[in-house]
Amino acid sequence: MATHSRSSARRSPHANATKRPTHGCRHRLAIGEDDRKRGIHGYDGAKKIGGRKRHILVDTTGLLLRAIVHAADIKDPASAPLLFSEVMKNFDQIQLVWADMGYRSDALRAWMAENSQWKLEIVKRPSKWGRYPVDVEPEPMPRFTVLARRWVVERTFAWIGRYRRMSKDYEYLIESSETMIYIVMSRLMLRRLARNAAHGVKSPQRMRLKGAARAS
């Protein structure tokens, strides 16, 4: 389980459509434009970003189980019960949940102990500090460390971010943002299922079938 912040689409709803950009090149993300956003939004003081957060819960292969979108000013431990309460209704086989360090909270653990039988395990980053004798040189810290199970949900965010509609939060309603996440992951799973289908299967259009023959 993890959260992902997305800033709002930097387009003013009152901007003139015929107005030309003042900068010389156009990037994929808008630059130097008005950052007003209609709909529910907030500011995350920890990540220094405004907009909304995407919370997703995936299985061990990275496929989506549940997703919620809310304002960025809601902290991760406070929004986790919103996600878990929806998952508990449909997935009763879950026993263990991995989460990043943003979900460290005694209140969240108490809520899970009271409302579910799940076990919450926080995936911690390697510590940069430690106690060593004076004559012992500590091992050098690697520049990049793959965290156990953490990369699974981050890979799912990468799958979602490959779609242009999901590169930023362009939606007015949070319900629309959640629906787009489900559409993206449904398309991904359908493409994987189609890989096992026999190649060269002719469609009714290619066979030029019409009428009742095409319907059958």
- Residues 69-82 have pLDDT tens digits of 988 888 888 888 88
Give the model's pLDDT for residue 33: 39
The answer to whether 95 and 118 are in contact (CB under 8 A) is yes
> Could you tell me the mean pLDDT of each successive run of 10 residues in the chain, 216 residues long?
62 47 38 54 81 89 90 86 86 87 88 88 78 79 77 90 86 89 91 70 67 61
- Residues 114-123 have pLDDT tens digits of 888 888 888 8
Give the model's pLDDT for residue 36: 52
Give the model's pLDDT for residue 71: 87
For 170-173, the CB contacts below 8 A with 24+ separation are: 170/9, 171/39, 172/38, 172/39, 173/39
Domains of the chain: 2-16+31-126+146-192 (3.30.420.10)
Q: Which residues pair with 71 in a beta bridge?
A: 52
Calculate the alpha carbon distances from 19 to 12, 14, 99 in Å. 12, 11, 45
Give the model's pLDDT for residue 198: 64
pTM of the predicted structure, to 2 decimals: 0.68
Interatomic CA distance for residues 191 and 170, integer angstroms:
25
Which tokens hold the place of 109?
Answer: 């653990």
Secondary structure class of 106 (helix, strand, coil): helix
Go through the chain and tell me how many residues it has.
Answer: 216
Closest Cα to residue 117, out of 141, 95, 100?
Answer: 95
